Amino acid sequence: MDGGASIWLPMLIGAGTSVATSAIGSNAAKDAAKTQATAATQAADTQGQTTSQILDFLRQQSATNQQYTSPYVNLGNQAGSTLASLMGLSPSTTTANPATPSPMQPNGLSTEPTVMMRAPDGSTRSVPQSKVARYQAKGATVIPAYGNNPVGPRRPEMV
């Protein structure tokens, strides 16, 4: 019987050790997962607070910029009104309203596609597509291989 016990005993000890190691590893993995989840939650909270602070700062900057530029806007409105009255126009229709840019995007850029053109004096300029014929009648030419120019081929993308 001693020979049978000597075979099974190391196997039983090995199996017990394997089960114990698995249990310890499982608990460690659960603890690590909890720690990681807590860290992710804290990071998300911190990011949310930081984003809120950044937005508050940007709102404050925008208000400050409007305060700084309002005297110049008012001066421009007054000058426009004076010029309009000198030309016999109603001054109330000439004041600028910076809050409502009509055919512009929020960033102030025109939404109309543009075409790059070369003037007779050699200078180049991006012009709205609707005005190409007008400038061509004055001697300007379309530069065909420039960027998003709809009249010519696109240039290779920058890598």
Task: Point out which residues pair with 155 in neighbouring strands.
Answer: none
Cβ burial of 149 (10 Å; 0-12, 13-18, 19+) is buried
- How remote is the C-alpha of 8 from its chain's centroid? 68
Residue 4 lies in a domain: no
77-120, pLDDT tens digit by residue? 888 888 888 887 776 654 555 554 444 444 455 567 888 888 89
> What is the rounded distance in angstroms from the CA atom of residue 118 to the CA atom of residue 132?
11
Which pLDDT tens digit goes with each residue over 126-150? Answer: 888 888 899 999 999 988 754 444 4
Give residue 131's domain range.
112-151
Q: How many domains does the chain have?
A: 1
pTM listed for this prediction: 0.34
**Residue 147 located in a structural domain:** yes
- Let me know if residue 58 belongs to a domain: no
Inside any domain, residue 141: yes
Whether residue 24 lies inside any domain: the answer is no
- Asked if 27 and 35 touch (Cβ cutoff 8 Å), the reply is no
pLDDT tens digits, one per residue of 49-80: 888 888 889 889 988 888 889 888 889 888 88
